[in-house]
Structure formats: structure tokens, C-alpha cells
Amino acid sequence: MSMYSEVSRAAALAQSAEEGAAIVARPLSLPSSWLANGAAAFASLAWAGFGLSCLLWEDLGDWARTHELAVAAFVIAGGILLGTLSGSRLGRFGAGLQQRAPWLLALGVFLTVWELATAKFAWLPLPFFPPPQAIIEVYTDDLPKLLASTFASVKLQLGGYAIGAAIGFLTGVSIGWSRAVGYWVHPILRFIGPLPATAWLPFAFFTFPSSWSASTFLIALATGFPVTVLTWSGVASVSSAYYDVARTLGAKPSFLVLKVAIPAALPHVFVGLFMGLGSSFAVLVVAEMIGVKAGLGWYLQWAQGWAAYANMYAALIVMSLLCSGAITLLFRTRDRLLVWQKGVVKW
């Protein structure tokens, strides 16, 4: 046997030994797909358990939607199981189902505990803690009033938020660009900004001709201040090198503002829009509770007056979904507008 063959054989044996040692030293781990499928299977069991908890024991109160709730729980459990078994065939839906499987599992367990603690064994005092079927009953029996209140809140919120965001954006750009404007407006912002918008309730309802216009003013005020400050900060922090390059190419002041300052400041602007969105929702509820005769805030006050706590929780869930949807829409708008700044903006 030649020297070359001996060397090749020795090298092959050494490589095999190294690979074997690496396999032995490698920690045992299950594939991530197995873990995701296991979580989805347990989520299906949790929802099936929730459905059984609705049917195995008698309700301690007169809840009209227990049977329908159990059927819905079994349908969801079957859908999760079917999606788990055919996850690769469902594409993005199957991948999304596997990703959200732990949350579906936690939600199924939570609903089961909630059902047992309220409707079945009354571990939590009624009517302060209604069971899940009581919330479902509100959505089926009181849906017209709840939808009318939701529409009124959305209309009021959109109007005040749009006005506040537009005024705040223009004011922030003006302060960040012009020292003269900043000289006059900056002290006013320092006086008005630290005050919460709800502190202006007496002034607003006395000054404006209607409660609707007063509420719109308060929402716009809560939105405008963070948008103004963050827009101002964004415009003021633009590097002077950008302006120098643009001026070298013959850019006019209007071009510098519209094509240099504002695009560079957009990440700060969206931070202000996010902050203003949360503040405006808080002011919306307070304004509707005090002066407006429609909306989710008014609905909450009405339900509290009648001790209809199920209606209160149902309205709170709707408000949470509205705020979450608005935040998601704002995120997608930001991602679309700032796609050219990937790598500069933290996503």
C-alpha cells in the first residue's frame, strides 16, 4: 500500500473520530417544529377543556349563551388541531398558527379558569366578575347600542387625532426650522405642554359651543403636544451636512424643508404620533364620560350606573381592540413610508 493511501486512510479515520466526538458532545434538542406542534396540540386540548367546563357543571346563574360558547370552544379546538396536522399545507396561516400556539394555549387555560371561577363555582363575587358567556350575551343582545357607541367614539377620535397631529406636525416643523418661530412658540409649549389635557376640561366645556367640539379640542391637545415636540426634535437634529450638499446643488429653502428636513425627521414624527395616540384614547374616555352623549366612554358610564359589569367589560374589550388596531395601522404606515430608511431606523 502506498504512502499516499496510508495518509488518506489516517486522515479519514481522524475526520470520522472528530465527527463522532462532535455528535456525542452536541446537546440533544427537539426540532422547533416539534415544539410548535406540541404547543398547538396542547392549545387544542385547552380549548376543548374550556368547552367541557361549560357543559359538565350547571351554571349558578341564568346565563343564556353557555351552550353556544361551548360549541364555539369545540370549533376553535378542532380548527387548531386541523391547522396543526396540515400546517405545511396552509402556508402563512399554518406558520402563524404555530407561532401563536403558546398564546392560544394560555388563552384556553385562562378562559377555563374564568368559567369555573365565575359561572360554575362562584369563587369570584358576582356581578363584579361576570362569566365569559355574559360577555358574549352583551355582544349578541346589546349589539346595536354598542356599535353606535363604537362608531361615535371612532368618529370623535379620528377628528381630534387628525387635527392634533396636523397642527402638531406643522408647529414642530416651524419651530425646528425657524428660530423666530421657536422664540415665540417655545415658551407657550413649556406652559401648556406639562399640563394634562384633562385639566382643560372646565375651560373647554365653557368655551366651546358644544360638548362634541370641546371633546375634539381636548383630544387634539393631547395629540398635538407630543407630535410637536418630537417633530421639532427631529427637524432640529438633521445634520447640517445634508443642507450643505443640497444648497451646493442649488436647492431652495422650500426644497430643504420638504425634501430634506421632513423626510429625515419622520422617525421622530412617528414616535410622537404613537405617543399622541395613547394620550388621545385616554382623553377620549374621560371626555365622553363627562360631556358627550354617545361613545364608548358614555357607554361605560351608563353600564356602571346600572351595575351592568358585563357591558363594561365588553366595552373595554372593544376599546382595547380599537387602540390595538390603530397602533397596528400606524406601524404599517410607518413601515411603508420609511422603507427607504431601513438600516437607519430600528425596526
pTM for the model stands at: 0.78
Q: In the chain, what are the domains?
A: 32-126 (no CATH), 143-340 (1.10.3720.10)
Q: How far is CA 20 from CA 6, 7, 11, 17, in A?
A: 21, 20, 14, 5
Grid cell digits, residue 122: 362562584
Contact call for residues 237 and 268 (beta carbons, < 8 A): yes
pLDDT for 105: 92
pLDDT in tens, the chain (347 residues): 443 344 344 344 444 444 444 444 444 343 455 555 677 888 889 999 999 999 988 888 888 889 999 999 999 999 888 877 776 676 676 777 777 888 999 999 999 999 999 999 999 988 889 999 999 999 999 899 999 999 999 999 999 999 999 999 999 999 988 888 888 888 888 888 778 888 888 888 888 888 888 889 999 999 999 999 999 988 988 888 878 888 888 888 888 888 888 888 898 999 999 999 988 988 888 888 776 778 888 899 888 888 889 999 999 999 999 989 999 999 999 888 887 666 554 44
pLDDT for 134: 92
pLDDT for 37: 66
Taking alpha carbons only, the member of 280, 283, 329, 167 closest to residue 232 is 167
pLDDT for 14: 40
Grid cell digits, residue 277: 395616540
pLDDT for 1: 42
pLDDT for 90: 65
> Counting every residue, how long is the chain?
347
